[in-house]
């Protein structure tokens, strides 16, 4: 890494704020799903597909642009991502079905470009070359917290605005536009951390991330990573919709309920991260086990909620799934940063995030499978898979 001209312990802040803003833009849509179903007449499959199309843009961007940032620099990748995030929200404001798909796809591309490069950039700017007082793991903590805070506040604010503001499916997006534009100037001043000599690395070689063959990545990170956003999207995109289908007085405030569930789920994901980091201080397996156990417990409570949708049951479900989301995210990100070769940090981080975002397909898969089984049975099957993952992380000794 190129040594800075002077110590700059806060050089990571503009990068983290940009990740926060892009995370806000990525997730603001999910708390509006109930409003789109209620006010625009979109079906369950439509809204689930709109959740999934985000991952369609995100995963290829993660896998390609993470290694590109390793080879060509963090700044160009994250700056373009910040601009695309603004564009994505502007397209969503058009409020046509094609625009919703296009906006969600653009949000996915922005997120994929940002999260691998941004996480690596924050980690590097949190290192001793820039801040001699930093301790190991600080960079992963800062990146995960910025991302999770954006994920949580985005849908909370957007959903509460949509519940009570006029023109809800327009006004709800305005806070993100203001935030995303505000971070652009400081981001452009953030210092680059990839040495200039590395810009000569051929992209074909940069795209080969050999660290994926590390045993702990394959056997520990890979099984746990999909539960990060499986837990989050089931809580955000599946369970509040069941409340609408059940009718009753609670359905009138379903958009606000959706927003509160999003805030609880993702806010809990932020709050548990210090505990997860302590569990993962010497070995990430305890944090991974705690995360998958919380996911399994949350899904079992969700089975009871699906049998009889009542708002009070959403509280423990959101808390448990949020805790699982946060622990699995920290465990996976820390292990990824520990096993990655220095020149493959963003590339392997991109692979990790791509695996986490497989969970965004969960609402669409569950909606499609309702043709053969009801939601309680499907959620029970998902809980059984979480239990199997927990057993794997507990019994597999080859990651020691």
The 3-class secondary structure across 333-379, one letter per residue, is HHHHHHHCCHHHHHHHHHHHHHHHHHHHHHHHHHHHHCCCCCHHHHH
Kindly list the domain boundaries of the chain, sorted by start residue. Answer: 13-184+214-394
pLDDT at 147: 82
Which residues lie closer than 8 Å to 125 by C-beta, 6 or more apart?
8, 11, 12, 15, 131, 139, 190, 191, 193
- The owner of tokens 């400081």 is 186
pLDDT at 4: 47
Integer CA distances (angstroms), 351 to 143, 164, 231, 266, 337, in order: 16, 40, 19, 22, 12
The reported pTM is: 0.79
Residue range 13-184+214-394, CATH number: 1.20.1250.20
Using the Cα atoms of residue 186, residue 343, residue 26 and residue 217 in order, give the sign of their dihedral.
negative
Q: Tokens standing for 32?
A: 């509006």
pLDDT at 287: 94
pLDDT at 3: 45
Integer CA distances (angstroms), 126 to 18, 120, 130, 187, 333, in order: 16, 10, 6, 16, 15
pLDDT at 126: 86
How many angstroms from the chain centroid is the CA of residue 223?
17
* SS3 category, 176: helix
Integer CA distances (angstroms), 8 to 120, 129, 184, 202, in order: 17, 9, 19, 31
DSSP letter string over 300-321? HHHHHHHHS--HHHHHHHHHHH
User: For 11, which DSSP code?
Assistant: T
Q: What is the mean pLDDT of each run of 10 residues along the chain (400 residues)?
A: 59 93 90 80 79 84 84 89 96 90 93 85 86 76 83 87 87 95 93 69 66 86 94 88 64 76 86 89 91 97 90 91 94 89 81 88 88 95 96 76
């Amino acid at each position: 890494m190129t040594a800075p001209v002077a110590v700059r312990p806060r050089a990571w802040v503009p990068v983290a704020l940009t990740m926060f803003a892009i995370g806000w833009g990525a997730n603001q849509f999910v708390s509006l799903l109930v409003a789109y179903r209620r006010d625009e007449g979109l079906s369950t499959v439509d809204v689930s597909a709109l959740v999934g199309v985000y991952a369609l843009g995100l995963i290829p961007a993660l896998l390609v642009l993470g290694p590109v940032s390793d080879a060509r620099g963090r700044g160009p990748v994250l700056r373009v991502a910040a601009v695309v995030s603004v564009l994505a929200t502007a397209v969503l404001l058009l409020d046509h079905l094609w625009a919703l798909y296009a906006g969600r796809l653009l949000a996915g591309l922005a997120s994929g470009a940002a999260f691998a490069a941004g996480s690596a950039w924050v980690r590097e700017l949190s290192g001793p070359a820039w801040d001699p007082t930093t301790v190991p793991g600080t960079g992963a903590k800062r990146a995960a917290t910025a991302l999770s805070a954006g994920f949580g506040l985005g849908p909370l604010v957007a959903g509460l605005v949509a519940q009570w503001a006029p023109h809800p499916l327009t006004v709800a997006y305005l806070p993100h536009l203001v935030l995303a534009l505000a971070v652009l100037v400081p981001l452009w001043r953030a210092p680059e951390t990839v040495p200039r000599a590395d810009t000569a690395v051929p992209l074909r070689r940069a795209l080969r991330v050999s660290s994926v063959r590390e045993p702990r990545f394959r056997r520990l990170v890979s099984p746990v990573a999909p539960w990060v956003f499986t837990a989050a999207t089931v809580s955000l995109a599946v369970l509040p919709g069941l409340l609408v289908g059940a009718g009753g007085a609670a359905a009138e405030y379903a958009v606000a309920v959706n927003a509160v569930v999003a805030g609880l789920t993702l806010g809990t994901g932020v709050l548990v991260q210090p505990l997860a980091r302590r569990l993962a201080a010497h070995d990430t397996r305890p944090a991974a086990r705690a995360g998958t156990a919380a996911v399994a417990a949350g899904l079992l409570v969700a089975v009871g909620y699906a049998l009889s949708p009542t708002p009070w049951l959403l509280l423990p479900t959101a808390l448990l799934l949020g805790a699982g989301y946060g622990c699995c995210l920290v465990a996976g990100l820390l292990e990824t940063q520990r096993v990655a070769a220095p020149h493959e940090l963003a590339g392997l981080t991109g692979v990790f995030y791509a695996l986490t975002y497989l969970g965004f397909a969960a609402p669409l898969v569950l909606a499609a499978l309702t043709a053969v089984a009801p939601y309680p049975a499907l959620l029970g099957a998902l809980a059984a898979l979480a239990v199997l993952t927990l057993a794997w992380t507990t019994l597999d000794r080859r990651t020691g």
